Amino acid sequence: MLTNRINRLTVRNYRSLADVTVDFEDLTVLVGPNGSGKSNILDVLRFVRDALTLGLDKALQDRGGIMSIRRFSPNGELYDIEITLDLKFGEQHASYAFVLASSEQNTYQVKSEKASLGSLQYEITDDKFDKFNLDSPSSSHIINVGRLALSLRRMGYFMQLTPLHEFLGRFESYSIIPETFRLPQKMENVYPLSETGDNLATFLRYTIK
């Protein structure tokens, strides 16, 4: 069994995903017709990774902005994007969640953010620390509305949550498209395997003995 892994993903209002919960096992296979949301589920996980490592601005920019990933309501209501991850770290439980709000002007802000690893936890709402039992920073710190607090680990904050940040920041997922590797492929770099599998032939040739 995997020592560290994502046990459950809950996402609301991310592209076509209105309110979806996925429970993950050591091996989880997503099966469904085109347009059923499989790729969006994987992109949610990539979005969390990118937001923590590249920053929210970059993660959103790469996807066309907040309005491109936020689900639209029939009457034009602005839905908040909600992402919650429940994780396993050895014998410890961990979690990470945040809510993004958007406006008509394609701007956004972090409405809330929560993280826990064993007994360590923080919760931020309205850009301020409401609950905090780590050593630093103090409750007087303010988080910029355009940043995730967990991403500040590289600046010396939340060092106790380093395993959580590193796990989510290194996440990789692949959407192997059969039509891609049915065609002849030119030799590419072995690593890394691309997210769409267009260098799969080279990867398999040099990694499977």
Q: What is the pLDDT of residues 144-171, one digit of tens each?
A: 445 787 876 655 556 778 888 889 998 8
In this structure, the answer to whether residues 97 and 192 fall within a common structural domain is: no
1-5, 37-41, 52-56, 153-157: range with lowest mean pLDDT: 153-157
Asked whether residue 197 carries a pLDDT value surpassing 80, the answer given is no
Report which DSSP code applies to 48: H
State the total domains in the chain.
Answer: 2
Question: What tens digit of pLDDT does each residue of 47-83 get?
Answer: 999 999 998 999 999 999 998 899 877 787 888 999 9
The CA distance from 105 to 126, in Å, is 20
Asked whether residue 195 carries a pLDDT value surpassing 90, the answer given is no
CATH number at residue 108: 3.40.50
- State the pLDDT at residue 176: 67
Spell out a b/e string for 173-206, using b for 16 or more CB atoms within 10 Å of the CB, else e.
eeeeeeeebeeeeeeeeeeebeeebbbbbbbeee
Helix (H, G, I), strand (E, B) or coil at 79: coil
In this structure, the answer to whether residues 99 and 196 fall within a common structural domain is: no
* CB atoms inside a 10 Å sphere around CB 209: 3
Taking phi over 0 as left and psi of -120 to 50 as alpha, with beta for the rest, 126 belongs to left
- State the pLDDT at residue 33: 82
16-30, 112-126, 140-154, 161-175: range with lowest mean pLDDT: 140-154
How many residues are present in the chain? Answer: 209
In this structure, the answer to whether residues 39 and 117 fall within a common structural domain is: yes
In this structure, the answer to whether residues 135 and 185 fall within a common structural domain is: no
- State the pLDDT at residue 85: 97
In this structure, the answer to whether residues 66 and 121 fall within a common structural domain is: yes
Of 198 and 151, the structure prediction assigns the larger pLDDT to 151
* CB atoms inside a 10 Å sphere around CB 162: 13
- State the pLDDT at residue 48: 95
In this structure, the answer to whether residues 151 and 132 fall within a common structural domain is: yes
Tokens (6 digits) for 160: 């106790």
* CB atoms inside a 10 Å sphere around CB 169: 18
**Structural domain containing residue 35:** 4-169
- What is the pLDDT of the chain when averaged over all its residues? 79
Asked whether residue 136 carries a pLDDT value surpassing 60, the answer given is no
- State the pLDDT at residue 21: 97
> Does 192 sit behind a cis peptide bond, omega within 30 degrees of 0 on the bond before it?
yes
